[in-house]
C-alpha cells in the first residue's frame, strides 16, 4: 500500500469565517448514544474528549479503513486566529463541531464545510459576559462538554449547552445553537452565565483553574479544579458537580482528609475525566498532595492522592479507589483519565478501567470493585536522604501488562551525538543519585527515569475492542531533579490568599530553582539533555506501543515521529522518535490516527501491526488528540494543528479535517 502526503503552506491558508450568530438545525438526541455499558457505544457523534463518556478514544466508524486510507484528502481548514497552545480535541454533537482555544474562546463550525457558525468570548460584551480583558490568559484548553434536554424545544434558548472551564476556575454554559451565554446558569450566585470554584471554600491558597474540560453525566456537569501544587497548603483538589441548568452545586468531593485540610492540599485532577453511565460513576486520575516534591509536611496517609478514584455521579461519594503511587514526591501525577472499556480476558468479557501512568505502567481495574485484573507487587524502593523527608518504603509494580516505557538506565546506555557529547552525559550521570525507579529527589541531585513528563501522559492511550489492543504513546526522556535548601534552612513564606507570592519569597531563598512555599527547599528540575540539546537517554525518545489486554504482552512497539529542530527533520530510519503531546484514536476500520509529534505529520497506522499506511503534513504540529465523525454521509477525521512551545514547534491556529476523495 502506498503512502500519501498532503503538503500545506501555513501562510497560504485562509480561514472561512461567517460572522455573527448561526441558528443551527435542531437534531433530536437518541438517548442511547449516552447510555449503555462499558462496551463500545455505537454513534457517529464524538460528544466528549475521549469519543464517548468512557474515554476509550475509539470510534466504530469504518468508512475509512486500511484499504482506502491512502485516499484521504484535506476536506477543509478552519483558522481561529488564536495561535497559542492549541491542545483541543473538538467534540461532535448537535450536527456541529465545538472546540476551545488557549485564549478562552469557544468556536462552533460546520462539520462538513468548516465554516464558522459562531464564536463565544467571555471577554466580549457582544459575544459573552463582558469579563474584563485583563482576565484573559494564554493557557491550555483541551476540551469542552455537551448536554441537551431529553426533548429540546425548537427555538428555545439553551436546550442544548456547551460547557467550558477556564484558567480562572470558571465554568461557562453556552447555547449550542447560537453561542449566546446561558444566563440561568449561575444566576442565583450573582454571575449569570457561569459558575466558579471561587464561590466555594478551597481550604488553602493559590490559583484554581481548569485546563481540561468538564464531563456531563445526566443532568450534572462535573468539573475538577487544578491548583498550584508546589505550595504546602495549596487549595484542595475539589471535584464538583453542578446542575446543568441552574449551576446549583449538587455535590463536591475533596481528596484531602478532613483532619488535614490546613496542612496540605492538591491531590487534584488537572487532566481529563471519564464516566460509566450505566453504573453512574465518574473516574478521577488524581495528582500528588502538596507540596509535590517534598513531603516532609505531609507524613500522614492521603489515600486519594495519585490514585484512580471512582465516584458516584449521584452523590460524589467514593465507590472504590486504588493508590498508584504512595507518598508521591516524584511528580508522577496520573496523567490521563482511566479508559472505560470491555476487554476480553481469560475467555470472558470484563468491564474495566485502564489507567496509564507516567512510569510506563498500565493498571487494569474491575469496574465494579477496583480489583486489579493483573498481579501487582509491592516492591522496595530507595529511601530519601533529605532531612525531614520520609518516603514510602515500597511502591506498587504491576507484573502485567508489560511496561510500555524503559524504566532502567545505565551509564553505558547513555547517548551522545558525538563522543564528547556522550562523555558529558556520563559525567553528569556519575554526579547524580540514581538507584533505579523511584529514586527520590535529593540535595545532591537525582535522576528520574521515566521523567516527570512520562512515560504516559494526557490523551496518550486508546483501546481498540476489535483487536483487544491498548494503544499507548510514550515519552522516554529522563529528568534531573535537585532540592535546593533555602538560606539558613528558612521556610519559604506562603503565598497570599489570592495566590500571589509574598514579597519576601525570593529574599528568603538561595540558589536556582522554584520556591516551594511552606518548605525549607526550592525545587529545580529539567530534562537530562546534553550541551547540544540532545537527550542523554538513548533513543527512541518517543514510541507507540500495542498491548494485548488478554495476555498483557506487548504485541508491537515502534519509534514514533521524527525530531525536527532548526528547520531540519531527522530521517525516519534513525529511529529516534520524538517528544510528543497528544495521543491516538482507534477506529473500526482497523486504524490508529495520531499526530502529536514535532514533525507536523498526521499519520494513520494499521492497529494490528503498527505499519504506517498514510501520512499528511499539517500546517503546524498537531499536539492534540484527533477525533472522527460522520456528517453529510461521509466520515471525517479532524485534528487541531497549532504546535506547542514545550516541543519547540511553531504555534498556530488551525483545525484540519480530512475525508476520502469524492
Which of 292, 331, 351, 599 is flagged as catalytic? Answer: 331
Strand order through the sheet with 91-93: 91-93, 96-100, 106-109, 116-120
Q: pLDDT tier at 23 (50, 70, 90 boundaries)? A: very low
For residue 83, what pLDDT is reported? Answer: 87
The domains of the chain, with CATH numbers, are 10-149+158-478+528-660 (2.140.10.10)
Least confident segment among 108-112, 480-484, 508-512: 508-512
Question: Who wins on pLDDT, 33 or 344?
Answer: 344
pLDDT confidence band for 32 (50 / 70 / 90): very low
DSSP H stretches of helix in 566-655: none
Read off the pTM: 0.91
Q: Are 653 and 87 in contact (CB under 8 A)?
A: no
Torsion of CA 168, 169, 173, 177, to 10 degrees: 50
Q: Which long-range contacts (CB under 8 A, 24 or more apart) does 558-566 make?
A: 558/610, 560/473, 560/594, 560/596, 560/597, 561/596, 561/597, 561/598, 561/599, 561/601, 562/597, 562/598, 562/599, 562/601, 563/598, 563/599, 564/598, 564/599, 564/600, 564/649, 565/533, 565/598, 565/648
Decide if pLDDT at 15 tops 70.
Answer: no
Is the pLDDT confidence value at 393 over 70? yes
Residue 184 is among the residues annotated as catalytic for this protein: no
Confidence of residue 43 (pLDDT cuts 50, 70, 90): low
In tens, the pLDDT along 278-330 reads 999 999 999 999 999 999 999 999 999 999 999 999 999 999 999 999 999 99
pLDDT tens profile 448-476 = 999 999 999 999 999 999 999 999 999 99
Mean pLDDT of the chain: 89
159-168, 460-469, 502-511, 637-646: least confident range: 502-511
Long-range contacts of 121-126 (CB under 8 A, 24+ apart): 122/166, 122/170, 122/172, 122/181, 122/193, 122/194
Give yes or no for residue 227 having a pLDDT over 50: yes
> How high is the pLDDT of residue 40?
36
Flag whether pLDDT at 52 surpasses 50. yes
**Is residue 215's pLDDT more than 80?**
yes
Instruction: Return the percentage of the chain with pLDDT > 90, whole number.
Output: 79
H or E element that contains 546: strand 542-548
Query: Which pLDDT tens digit goes with each residue over 336-358?
Result: 999 999 999 999 999 999 999 99
Q: What is the pLDDT of residues 63-117, one digit of tens each?
A: 999 999 999 999 999 999 998 889 999 999 999 999 999 999 999 999 999 999 9
Angstrom distance (rounded) from CA 364 to CA 226: 25
In tens, the pLDDT along 534-585 reads 999 999 999 999 999 999 999 999 999 887 665 666 767 677 899 899 999 9
Residue-wise pLDDT for 592-626, tens only, equals 999 999 899 999 999 999 999 999 999 999 999 99
In this prediction, residue 506 carries a pLDDT of 31
Query: Residue 5's pLDDT band (boundaries 50, 70, 90)?
Result: very low
Indicate whether 31 pLDDT > 70: no
Amino acid at each position: 500500500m502506498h503512502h500519501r502526503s498532503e503538503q500545506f503552506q501555513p501562510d497560504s491558508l485562509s480561514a472561512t469565517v461567517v460572522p455573527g450568530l448561526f441558528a443551527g438545525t435542531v437534531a433530536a438526541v437518541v438517548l442511547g448514544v449516552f447510555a449503555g455499558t462499558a462496551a463500545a457505544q455505537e454513534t457517529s457523534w464524538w460528544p466528549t474528549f475521549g469519543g464517548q463518556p468512557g474515554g476509550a478514544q475509539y470510534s466504530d466508524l469504518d468508512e475509512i479503513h486500511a484499504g482506502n486510507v491512502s485516499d484521504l484528502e484535506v476536506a477543509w481548514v478552519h483558522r481561529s486566529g488564536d495561535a497559542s497552545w492549541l491542545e483541543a480535541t473538538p467534540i461532535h454533537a448537535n450536527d456541529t463541531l465545538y472546540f476551545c482555544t488557549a485564549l478562552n474562546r469557544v468556536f462552533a463550525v460546520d462539520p462538513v464545510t468548516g465554516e464558522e457558525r459562531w464564536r463565544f468570548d467571555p471577554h466580549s460584551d457582544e459575544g459573552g459576559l463582558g469579563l474584563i480583558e485583563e482576565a484573559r490568559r494564554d493557557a491550555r484548553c483541551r476540551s469542552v462538554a455537551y448536554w441537551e434536554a431529553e426533548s429540546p424545544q425548537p427555538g428555545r434558548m439553551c436546550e442544548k449547552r456547551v460547557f467550558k472551564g477556564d484558567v480562572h476556575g470558571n465554568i461557562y454554559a453556552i447555547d449550542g445553537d447560537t453561542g449566546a451565554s446561558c444566563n440561568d446558569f449561575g444566576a442565583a450566585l450573582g454571575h449569570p452565565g457561569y459558575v466558579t470554584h471561587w464561590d466555594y471554600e478551597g481550604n488553602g491558597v493559590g490559583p484554581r483553574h481548569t485546563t481540561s474540560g468538564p464531563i456531563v453525566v445526566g443532568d450534572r456537569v462535573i468539573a475538577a479544579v487544578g491548583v498550584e501544587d508546589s505550595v504546602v497548603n495549596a487549595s484542595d483538589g475539589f471535584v464538583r458537580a453542578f446542575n446543568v441548568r441552574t449551576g446549583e452545586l449538587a455535590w463536591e468531593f475533596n481528596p484531602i482528609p478532613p483532619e488535614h485540610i490546613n496542612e496540605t492540599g492538591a491531590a487534584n485532577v488537572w487532566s481529563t475525566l471519564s464516566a460509566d453511565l450505566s453504573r453512574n460513576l465518574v473516574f478521577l486520575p488524581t495528582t500528588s498532595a502538596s507540596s509535590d516534591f517534598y513531603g516532609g509536611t505531609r507524613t500522614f496517609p492521603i489515600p486519594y492522592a495519585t490514585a484512580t478514584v471512582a465516584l458516584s455521579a449521584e452523590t460524589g461519594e467514593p465507590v472504590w479507589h486504588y493508590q498508584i503511587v504512595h507518598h508521591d514526591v516524584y511528580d508522577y501525577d496520573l496523567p490521563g483519565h482511566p479508559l472505560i472499556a470491555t476487554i476480553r480476558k481469560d475467555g470472558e468479557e470484563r468491564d474495566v478501567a485502564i489507567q496509564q501512568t507516567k512510569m510506563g505502567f498500565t493498571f487494569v481495574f474491575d469496574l465494579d470493585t477496583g480489583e486489579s485484573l493483573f498481579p501487582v507487587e509491592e516492591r522496595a524502593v530507595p529511601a530519601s536522604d533529605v532531612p525531614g523527608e520520609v518516603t514510602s518504603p515500597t511502591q506498587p509494580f504491576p507484573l502485567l501488562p508489560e511496561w510500555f516505557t524503559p524504566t532502567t538506565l545505565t551509564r553505558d546506555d547513555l547517548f551522545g551525538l558525538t563522543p564528547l557529547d556522550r562523555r558529558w552525559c556520563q559525567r553528569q550521570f556519575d554526579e547524580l543519585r540514581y538507584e533505579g525507579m523511584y529514586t527520590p529527589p535529593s540535595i545532591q541531585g537525582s535522576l528520574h527515569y521515566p521523567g516527570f513528563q512520562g512515560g504516559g501522559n494526557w490523551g496518550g492511550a486508546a483501546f481498540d475492542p476489535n483487536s483487544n489492543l491498548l494503544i499507548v504513546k510514550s515519552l522516554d526522556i529522563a529528568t534531573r531533579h535537585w532540592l535546593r535548601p533555602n538560606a539558613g534552612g528558612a521556610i519559604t513564606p506562603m503565598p497570599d490568599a489570592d495566590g500571589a507570592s509574598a514579597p519576601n519569597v525570593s529574599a528568603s531563598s538561595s540558589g536556582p530553582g522554584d520556591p516551594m512555599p511552606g518548605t525549607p527547599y526550592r525545587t529545580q528540575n529539567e530534562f537530562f539533555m546534553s550541551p547540544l540539546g540532545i537527550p542523554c537517554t538513548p533513543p527512541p525518545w518517543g514510541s507507540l506501543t500495542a498491548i494485548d489486554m488478554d495476555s498483557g504482552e506487548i504485541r508491537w512497539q515502534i519509534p514514533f515521529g521524527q525530531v525536527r529542530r532548526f528547520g531540519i527533520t531527522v530521517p525516519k530510519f534513525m529511529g529516534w522518535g520524538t517528544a510528543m503531546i497528544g495521543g491516538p484514536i482507534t477506529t473500526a476500520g482497523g486504524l490508529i490516527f495520531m499526530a502529536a509529534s514535532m514533525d507536523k505529520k498526521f499519520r494513520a497506522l494499521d492497529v494490528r501491526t503498527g505499519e504506517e499506511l498514510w501520512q499528511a503534513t499539517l500546517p503546524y504540529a498537531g499536539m492534540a488528540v484527533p477525533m472522527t465523525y460522520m456528517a453529510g454521509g461521509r466520515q471525517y477525521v479532524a485534528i487541531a494543528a497549532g504546535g506547542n512551545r514545550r516541543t519547540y514547534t511553531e504555534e498556530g491556529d488551525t483545525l484540519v479535517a480530512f475525508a476520502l476523495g469524492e
